[in-house]
Amino acid sequence: MEGLLRFLVAKVIVLALASSFVSCYDPSPLQDFCVAVDDANGVFVNGKFCKDPKYVRAEDFFTSGLNIAGNTMNRVGSNVTNVNVDRIPGLNTLGVSLVRIDFAPGGQNPPHTHPRATEILVLVEGTLLVGFVTSNQDNNRLFSKVLYPGDVFVFPIGMIHFQVNVGRTNAVAFAGLGSQNPGTITIADAVFGSTPLIMPEILAKAFQLDVNVVRFLEGRFSSKYDRHY
């Protein structure tokens, strides 16, 4: 009896762990679609409320404009055009989204992470240096590659990654992400421009910098000026 009890407890633990791993990603839909609709009742859900299927139209699954280059006249020389559930309500619960990224020569999509999605990027124009850094347990290894038109690169979920235009002309890339709302945490903005600011002394020790350098950086990033996404 005791052996059977241990077996059942172990089985429950395994199933719980398995279900927790599955829930780390967008849940599978239980119907054909769940077109997002705003609701003013103040109830928060993991995703968005569903429109009554009787009122769903083709426009709920459509957007346009990705043929138009984004404005790269900003501090990092790039522009990210998001196509997520906020732009296409029909993406709700489908676990996928898309971005167009434009780069001026020398421009970059600075180091950032998507907490809820793996990203797969295809380069259409120009030349990009791309890469991601693994976790501390893997000794923060850098995987990097120079991409040319038609090349594809994958950034695993949660990994800090970047793209830099190393060519002499503009570059254009498109990327698919495995979430309707993948989220973006830009490392420099988050660390030096949080609200409220992290104490300069903490960052000075963490980055091994003079505290006055940290105060300067927080002054630069806390204004949130000229952000491109």
Q: For residue 7, is pLDDT > 50? A: no
Number of separate domains in the chain: 2
Both 212 and 128 in a single domain? no
pLDDT tens for each residue of 60-79: 999 999 999 999 999 999 99
Is residue 77 in some structural domain?
A: yes
- Among the residue ranges 36-40, 115-119, 189-193, 211-215, the one predicted with the least confidence is 36-40
Is residue 24 in some structural domain?
A: no
Identify which has the larger pLDDT, 112 or 35. Answer: 112
Identify which has the larger pLDDT, 143 or 44. Answer: 143
Both 49 and 152 in a single domain? yes
pLDDT at 228: 41
Cα–Cα distances (Å) from 132 to 81, 150, 216, in that order, read 21, 19, 27
- What is the pLDDT of the chain when averaged over all its residues? 86
Both 153 and 48 in a single domain? yes
161 annotated ligand-binding residue: yes
- How would residue 47 be classed by pLDDT, with cut points 50, 70 and 90? confident
71 annotated ligand-binding residue: no
Q: For residue 207, is pLDDT > 80? A: yes
228 annotated ligand-binding residue: no
Both 57 and 134 in a single domain? yes
For 226, the token pair is: 């000229």
Identify which has the larger pLDDT, 201 or 85. Answer: 201
pLDDT tens for each residue of 10-24: 443 343 334 444 444
Compute how many other C-beta atoms are within 10 angstroms of the C-beta atom of residue 166.
17
Alpha-carbon distance of 81 to 71, in angstroms, equals 10
119 annotated ligand-binding residue: yes
- Among the residue ranges 132-146, 156-170, 211-225, the one predicted with the least confidence is 211-225
Q: Which residue, among 217, 191, 184, 222, has the nearest Cα to 78 in the 3D structure? A: 184
Is residue 140 in some structural domain?
A: yes
Identify which has the larger pLDDT, 107 or 92. Answer: 107
- DSSP H or E stretch at residue 212: helix 211-222
- Among the residue ranges 26-30, 31-35, 186-190, 215-219, the one predicted with the least confidence is 26-30
Both 46 and 155 in a single domain? yes
Both 171 and 159 in a single domain? yes
Alpha-carbon distance of 105 to 198, in angstroms, equals 33
2 annotated ligand-binding residue: no
Q: Which residue, among 17, 85, 89, has the nearest Cα to 53 in the 3D structure? A: 89
Which range of residues forms the domain containing residue 213? 186-228
